[in-house]
Copies of this chain bind each other. A is one copy, B any other.
Amino acid sequence: MKHLMNPLDFTVEELNQLFDLANDIEANMDKYAHVCAGKKLATCFYEPSTRTRLSFEAAMLNLGGSVLGFSEASSSSAAKGESVSDTIRVVSCFADICAMRHPKEGAPMVAASRSSIPVINAGDGGHQHPTQTLTDLLTIRSMKGRLDHFTIGLCGDLKFGRTVHSLINALVRYEGIQFIFISPRELMVPDYVTDMLKEKNIPYEEVIRLEDIMPKLDLLYMTRVQKERFFNEEDYVRLKDFYILDKLKMQLAKPDMLVLHPLPRVNEISVEVDEDPRAAYFKQVQYGVYVRMALILTLLNIHVN
């Protein structure tokens, strides 16, 4: 039985199969409308995350399956002191597959080790959020036709953002990737990331201002810069506009550059950018459903001809 804990749990070849399946689903939704009839997905969310939970639920419903679960810890048995191991053994009696979000790093891993059904890590603290990474990769592959030979800019909070670290780890497996990290000094990528890139001989650059490198980028991955991450108010006021993407900055970009964002956004992408054909962040949401559908089928070992 296979679980999904980390985006690297799948080899590049397995990912290709997953993405092929997701694209076939996109093109032929009707063919998949009943393939999970009688199957149940449990959404075990120990902390709220509406977007991720609804994406999983939409995915399962699109496959003809059904859904049960909880959306916050207070209404779960965890409040009575039950361990995650016990909860998953119980949930295994109720459902065929489980998507688990937990504030503690490693909790889904513990669950998977005791589970008799496939477990999907739907986010564990600041650690992993593999279905977001699969979503990002599928969006790029679907809209660009490939996952190699890109210059990708990652902008914003590169220190704490788990989606950024996950995406970097996933992309280094493809050829010809070049990274440009755009962030304030306080929020630069951690050393272990740049050390890994040096070791693998993968080119990267670190810059402070988004404008400076816009023309170079094939892909721009935006994230939110939270005020409270800065050392002082002064720095925040001085720097924050460097990390807000607006129409003016978009004029500097290539005509086919894609803008990605894991959402929710607050103000780091101006709404005026939404109608730009290069804005791909709402399409990401749609690809997130397709990739979760493909993932559920893959982990349940359901094959459709």
Contacts and interface: CB of A to CB of B under 8 A. Distances in A.
Nearest to A116: B282
A33 B38 CA distance: 7
A289 B77 contact: no
Interface in A31-64: 33, 38, 40, 42, 48-51, 54-55, 57-58, 61
A196 interface: no
A66 B282 CA distance: 23
Contact of A48 (B66, B79, B87, B263): B79
Q: How many A residues are at the interface, by size bracket?
A: 35 or more
A74 interface: yes
Contact of A69 (B54, B76, B94, B95): B54
Given A72-B75, A76-B50, A264-B82, A93 B40 contact: no
A86 B51 CA distance: 11
Contacts of A82: 263-266
A40 B61 contact: yes
Given A87-B264, A93-B285, A94-B289, 13 more contacts: A33-B38, A50-B75, A54-B91, A58-B68, A58-B94, A66-B66, A72-B75, A77-B263, A80-B264, A80-B266, A82-B266, A89-B282, A93-B289
A107 interface: no
A202 interface: no
A252 interface: no
A67 interface: yes
A122 to B, nearest CB: 14
Contact of A75 (B48, B263, B282, B289): B48
B67 A50 contact: no
5 contacts: A51-B90, A54-B91, A58-B94, A86-B263, A93-B288
Contacts of A68: 54, 57-58, 61, 67
Contacts of A142: none
A90 B42 contact: no
A76 B48 contact: yes
A204 interface: no
A144 to B, nearest CB: 20
A50 B66 contact: no
A209 to B, nearest CB: 25
Contacts of A75: 48, 50, 71-72
A47 B193 CA distance: 42
B79 A54 contact: no
Contacts of A69: 54
Contacts of A239: none
A270 interface: no
A251 interface: no
A143 interface: no
A12 interface: no
A17 interface: no
